[in-house]
Amino acid sequence: MSYELSHLEALEAESIHVIREAVAEAERPVLLFSGGKDSAVLLRLAVKAFWPARLPFPVMHVDTGHNFDEVLEFRDRTVTELGAELIVASVQEAIDEGRVVEQTGPNASRNRLQIEPLLAAIERHRFDAVFGGARRDEEKARAKERMFSFRDEFGQWDPKNQRPELWSMYNARHHNGEHIRVFPISNWTEMDIWQYVLNQEIDLPSIYFSHRRRVFERDGLLMADSPFIQRRDDEAVYEATVRFRTVGDMSCTGAFASTASTVEAIIDEVSTTRITERGASRADDLTADAAMEDRKREGYF
Amino acid sequence: MIHTDLVRLATTGSVDDGKSTLIGRMLFDTKQIFQDQLAAIEAASRQRGGDRVDLALLTDGLRAEREQGITIDVAYRYFATPKRKFILADTPGHVQYTRNMVTGASTADIALVLADARNGILEQTRRHAFIASLLRVPHLVLCVNKMDLVDYSEDVYEKIVDEFRDFAARLDINDLRFVPVSALEGDNVVEPSLNMSWYDGSPLLKIMEDIHVASDRNLIDARFPIQYVIRPHTAEHHDYRGYAGQIASGVFRPGDEVIALPSGFTTRIVEIDTYDGAIDEAPTPMSVVMRLEDNIDLSRGDMLSRPHNQPMVGQDIDAIVVWMSESVRLRPGAKYAIKHTTRWARAMVTDLQYRFDVTTLHRDESATSLGLNEIGRVRIRTTAPLFFDEYRRNRETGSFILVEEGTNNTVGAGMIGGPAE
């Protein structure tokens, strides 16, 4: 017996350690759950960390109001099955109450508008540890972030002055009003996520798998035709066989042509693709070199 | 489950030794760079007026880093070969960001230290090699980079190797290797170099794939810091009481006799639980839940070990400390919060014995304080006993952090030498 752990076992052990550490040290943790594959894996890891006890914290969805129906259905079903408490932080509500202003035009997106309702919900519920499913391989600003990432009383991230984080020793100390963002799957790659989904038989929203959908082309992405996105005159709608590589706001999440209808087929596809998942599906990150860093500084996840 | 192992790397070296370029080259030649990433850095390189693609832009992810062309904080990168998955911590070269280098090296299995073939071994090269040895990174590879700028000269390479060997002889390094590379041209990074036929070793990536890391783990000393007590209070699991944690070292099995610290009670492990079912043995670094035969007093911060192989227990500890605060200095008499395994206590620095000059390894016994990035040997006294091993034997139970109580910032990293006499 060599006692060697596979890479997935080693990643799982690290993530569970991080989740338990945050819950042990924080007063009021919460887990951000978008219904996407990363948050589905994060939720499974959290369940594993406390089994056979119940999840000792609520889950929160930052709802842009521009959701795929399949994802909302998945969110509600998952939360019900676990018997977890669901908190919804609503962008629509923030717009209605005048706390944020809706963008207009064909490139309008509610992506950035999520920051205000997220921070308001953290403040209202006095959450002091907020689990997120961000991965360092997703994006260059995320590649810089700690597992335990300190946020000041404005929810801001200071990337030039992060707490040193050594060994598997995490410092969750903070004053009232400050909080810690905790990223237990920081070290997982897109491929690790899919291998784990296969290995653990984790359920996902159907839009990750190949399906027929009415779409139109924009900036090389296939955008779903929906009331939430304004088409230009030259953007024609047609039906295609597509799947989504990430799940987010309908106005900025694109699909691509794919016939991969099983997790195994997706793993084959991911192992040969030459485009990153954000490049293949997120219109918002195509806009600027430091778009993610700027959003994160303001409190984005 | 697909069986590839996970190996952690840290790259270190002086500014402009070409670390980020080396990583970019490794990702590029192993085809881990995606088309859209390449297009983005091609555009950015052009905008900067460069005549070739600057691979360093792949890892320098912060605005300030890209503007200044330097690495400020650790960037993590991921790549895989059919044999291994690598987590690579690209650490800063600047002296002022040494604490971030320490962060990256603390978990590394392999440290890659870069040197510029034109400049040889610099102060920063020595500093980083010293820190890697202090942090007990088990394998160190000196990459002599920019060989293209010295006409791929074997003499130049050998001279640098000899100089580094002399210095390294005074450090505590288990396994030291050398490789001549050109990150810019791709020599000996992934592919063997056609320009250095005199070199008969493997290219860097092959070295990284072949280094045996599994035996670096401590599988002898069974240590289980209690992280969280699980009590479901449900009808199905009414009397369940499980102790959750990550095995710091060694192997635990159901039936094992264990001793609880600090209480000193002994009992047996009834079952080791995971969500996927009970298991027969749990080696480090698994995260598990243990159930014990007797209901003993045991909570977060306590530890399970074996009666015949226990950690040291004490409140007076001798340690090497790396100081990480920009605003306050470490001084004898100062008090901090200390975190060791899952246990928090308070600690007072009772004595600063000496400060290392990290380039000459000289011990300055007249030092009265430690500033940012300085390393010294101290004695501390803690308000509660710690259950510890020597750092050189156990990275998990031999390390601690010091936290400033006013700001909650992590200000020091400690490596335990043993009990203070």
Is any Cβ of chain B less than 8 angstroms from the Cβ of A2?
yes
Reply yes or no on whether the pLDDT at B69 is more than 80.
Answer: no
Which of the listed ranges A11-15, A139-143, A281-285, B181-185 does the model predict with the highest average pLDDT? A11-15
Rounded Cα distance, A141 and A157, in Å: 11
Instruction: Name the band, by pLDDT with cuts 50, 70 and 90, for residue A290.
Output: low
Instruction: Please give the residue that has the higher pLDDT: either B117 or A229.
Output: B117
> Hey, which bits of chain A come out as E strands?
29-32, 59-63, 86-90, 129-131, 148-151, 179-182, 211-218, 221-224, 238-244, 254-257
- ω into A52 cis (within 30 of 0): yes
The whole-number average pLDDT for the span B58-62 is: 66
The whole-number average pLDDT for the span B271-284 is: 96
Is any Cβ of chain B less than 8 angstroms from the Cβ of A275?
yes
Contact A160 B5 (CB under 8 A): no
The whole-number average pLDDT for the span B387-398 is: 97
Query: Residues 193 to 232 of A: which have CB under 8 A from any B CB?
Result: 195, 199
The whole-number average pLDDT for the span A257-276 is: 89
Instruction: Please give the residue that has the higher pLDDT: either B177 or A279.
Output: B177
Smallest Cα–Cα separation from A33: which of A130, A177, A110? A130
Contact A166 B102 (CB under 8 A): yes
Is any Cβ of chain B less than 8 angstroms from the Cβ of A297?
no
Smallest Cα–Cα separation from A169: which of B407, B349, B352, B402? B402
The whole-number average pLDDT for the span B240-267 is: 97
Contact B283 A3 (CB under 8 A): yes
Residue pair A178/A154 in contact (Cβ under 8 Å)? The answer is no
- Facing residue for B403 by CB, picked from A53, A171, A280: A171
Range A40-58 burial, b when 16+ CB lie within 10 A, else e: bbbbbbbbbbbbebebebb
Contact B399 A165 (CB under 8 A): no
A-B Cβ pairs (cutoff 8 Å, strict): 199
Amino acid identity, position B259: I
Rounded Cα distance, B50 and B45, in Å: 5
Is any Cβ of chain B less than 8 angstroms from the Cβ of A80?
no
Task: Give the minimum alpha-carbon distance from B259 to chain A in angstroms, rounded to a whole number.
Answer: 22
Is any Cβ of chain B less than 8 angstroms from the Cβ of A134?
no
The whole-number average pLDDT for the span B348-353 is: 97
Instruction: Please give the residue that has the higher pLDDT: either A154 or A139.
Output: A154
pLDDT of residue A297: 76
- ω into B262 cis (within 30 of 0): yes
Reply yes or no on whether the pLDDT at B283 is more than 90.
Answer: yes
3-state secondary structure A181-219: EECCCCCCCHHHHHHHHHHHCCCCCHHHCCEEEEEEEEC
Is any Cβ of chain B less than 8 angstroms from the Cβ of A10?
yes
B5-216, CATH topology level: Rossmann fold (3.40.50)
Which pLDDT tens digit goes with each residue over A89-122?
988 888 888 888 888 887 778 888 888 999 999 9
Instruction: Name the band, by pLDDT with cuts 50, 70 and 90, for residue A180.
Output: very high
Which pLDDT tens digit goes with each residue over B300-309?
999 999 999 9
- Facing residue for B1 by CB, picked from A8, A165, A276: A8
The whole-number average pLDDT for the span A274-294 is: 67
Is any Cβ of chain B less than 8 angstroms from the Cβ of A234?
no
Instruction: Name the band, by pLDDT with cuts 50, 70 and 90, for residue B3.
Output: low
The whole-number average pLDDT for the span A40-53 is: 97
- CATH no. for B223-305: 2.40.30.10
- Facing residue for B275 by CB, picked from A14, A47, A171: A47
Instruction: Name the band, by pLDDT with cuts 50, 70 and 90, for residue A21.
Output: very high
3-state secondary structure chain B: CCCCEEEEEEEEECCCCCHHHHHHHHHHHCCCCCHHHHHHHHHHHHHCCCCCCCHHHHCCCCHHHHHHCCCCCCEEEEEECCCEEEEEEECCCCHHHHHHHHHHHCCCCEEEEEEECCCECCHHHHHHHHHHHHCCCCEEEEEEECHHHHCCCHHHHHHHHHHHHHHHCCCCCCEEEEEECECCCCECCCECCCCCCCCCCCCHHHHHHHCCCHHHCCCCCCEEECCEEECCCCCCCCCCCEEEEECCECEECCCCEEEEECCCCEEEEEEEECCCCCECCEECCCEEEEEECCCCCCCCCCEEEECCECCEEEEEEEEEEEECCCCCCECCCCEEEEEECCEEEEEEEEEEEEEECCCCCCEECCCCCECCCCEEEEEEEEEEEEEECCCCCCCCCCEEEEECCCCCCEEEEEEEEEECC
Chain A residues within 8 A of B63 when measuring between CB atoms: 289-290, 293
The whole-number average pLDDT for the span A269-292 is: 70
Contact A293 B62 (CB under 8 A): yes
Contact A274 B34 (CB under 8 A): yes
Rounded Cα distance, B421 and B419, in Å: 6
Instruction: Please give the residue that has the higher pLDDT: either B54 or A45.
Output: A45
- CATH architecture, domain defined by B312-419: Beta Barrel (2.40)
Reply yes or no on whether the pLDDT at A295 is more than 90.
Answer: no
- Facing residue for A21 by CB, picked from B107, B227, B395: B227
Task: Give the minimum alpha-carbon distance from A274 to chain B in angstroms, rounded to a whole number.
Answer: 5
* Lowest-confidence region among A25-29, A176-180, B53-57: B53-57
- Facing residue for B73 by CB, picked from A23, A162, A167: A162
Contacts of B43 (CB under 8 A, 6+ apart): none
pLDDT of residue B29: 80
- Facing residue for A52 by CB, picked from B1, B232, B342: B232
Domains of chain A: 7-188+290-297 (3.40.50.620), 193-286 (no CATH)
Rounded Cα distance, A112 and A100, in Å: 10
Residue-averaged pLDDT of chain B: 91
pLDDT of residue A271: 84
Instruction: Name the band, by pLDDT with cuts 50, 70 and 90, for residue B1.
Output: very low
Chain A residues within 8 A of B80 when measuring between CB atoms: 189, 191
Instruction: Please give the residue that has the higher pLDDT: either A289 or A231.
Output: A231
Contact A167 B240 (CB under 8 A): no
The whole-number average pLDDT for the span A70-79 is: 95
Rounded Cα distance, A28 and A56, in Å: 10
The CATH 2.40.30.10 portion of chain B extends over 223-305, 312-419
Residue pair B241/B282 in contact (Cβ under 8 Å)? The answer is no
Query: Residues 242 to 271 of A: which have CB under 8 A from any B CB?
Result: none
Which of the listed ranges A211-220, B230-239, B271-280 does the model predict with the highest average pLDDT? B271-280
Which pLDDT tens digit goes with each residue over B143-197?
999 999 999 999 999 999 999 999 999 998 989 999 999 998 999 999 999 999 9
Chain A residues within 8 A of B214 when measuring between CB atoms: 2-4
Which pLDDT tens digit goes with each residue over A140-171?
788 888 999 999 999 899 888 889 999 999 99
Interface test with B, best of A44, A136, A144 (most B CBs within 10 A): A144
Smallest Cα–Cα separation from B102: which of B141, B133, B131, B60? B131
Which pLDDT tens digit goes with each residue over A210-266?
999 999 998 888 999 988 888 888 899 999 999 998 888 888 888 999 999 999 999
Smallest Cα–Cα separation from B12: which of B78, B117, B99, B119? B99
Residue B402, beta-bridge partner list = B338, B412
Place of tokens 């009834």: B270
Chain B residues within 8 A of A8 when measuring between CB atoms: 1-2
Rounded Cα distance, A148 and B25, in Å: 30
